[in-house]
Amino acid sequence: MLAGAGLGSVIAECMLRIGFQNITIIDGDKVELSNLNRQNYVCRDIGSAKTDALYKRLKEINPLANVRVENIFLTENNVQQYISGHHIAINAIDFTSDLPFVFDKICSDKNIPVLHPYNLGWAAALFVFMPDGETLSQIQPSFQNFEQAVVEYIINYSKKYLDNDPLWLKDALKEYVEEPIKLSPPQLSVGSAIAAALCTRVACRIALNEPVRIFPEIYYYE
């Protein structure tokens, strides 16, 4: 199950091409011109529902795949009804409310592992949360400026555990924080592709009951 068809649009195709046959995608957004630099859409999709455009693309790749789409925005009131029946969830919901935390809590209650991918521009990261394990709120309990907190966590983790001090990411974060106007975090197609690869590999390992890095450990690649 993919919650969000922005970054999720790239992940969905990667997972489909590797062999996943049952995919549910949920998003109520429409394709915009600004999406085309990093999401799995083309000019003719502009103005269309993301789920409709993505459904057509995935079915053109594999007509036999069981692709289910829901053209709705998830909310704290309706999210419960869409989660049941899935074995892996990918949380690509924007942090504009507490919904990502609510989504994870419901998945945990239903014994569903959750993957959290992050497009960092020239890099990507993936957090894996298992039922009854660590939770996303341990990074920060509030959704406000949550992406910033995630990047700070990745920088600290990389330096301490991966023997990698991502100076460019520090610089990018500093510039982002110092911007005089509020902007969305910078994202590039490179980061989307890396995030999709990480998600697909980890989803395969979970499906095969192979070990994966569970939060507070993370996957990071640049």
Give the chain's domain count: 1
Share the mean pLDDT of the chain: 95
| 196 domain-assigned | yes
Dihedrals phi, psi of 33, to nearest 5 degrees:
-55, -40
| 110 domain-assigned | yes
Q: β-strands 22-26, 2-3: how paired?
A: parallel
| 16 domain-assigned | yes
The conformational region for residue 44 under phi > 0 = left, psi -120 to 50 = alpha, else beta, is alpha
In sequence order, the 6+-apart residues with CB closer than 8 A to the CB of 170 are 155
| 197 domain-assigned | yes
Q: Which contiguous run of DSSP H or E holds residue 23?
A: strand 22-26
| 163 domain-assigned | no
- In this prediction, residues 52-78 reach a mean pLDDT of 97
Q: What percent of the chain has pLDDT over 90?
A: 89
Q: What percent of the chain has pLDDT over 70?
A: 100
Tens-digit pLDDT profile for residues 42-58 = 999 999 999 999 999 99
- In this prediction, residues 191-220 reach a mean pLDDT of 97
Tens-digit pLDDT profile for residues 148-201 = 999 999 999 998 888 888 889 999 999 988 988 887 788 999 999 999 999 999
Rounded Cα–Cα distance for residues 191 and 221 (Å): 9
Nearest-CA neighbor of 21 among 30, 12, 10?
Answer: 12
Rounded Cα–Cα distance for residues 122 and 221 (Å): 9
| 198 domain-assigned | yes
User: Which residue range(s) make up the domain with 61?
Assistant: 2-133+186-221
| 147 domain-assigned | no
| 47 domain-assigned | yes
Cα three-residue angle 84-110-11, rounded to 5 degrees: 65
Please report, for the domain that includes residue 209, its CATH number: 3.40.50.720
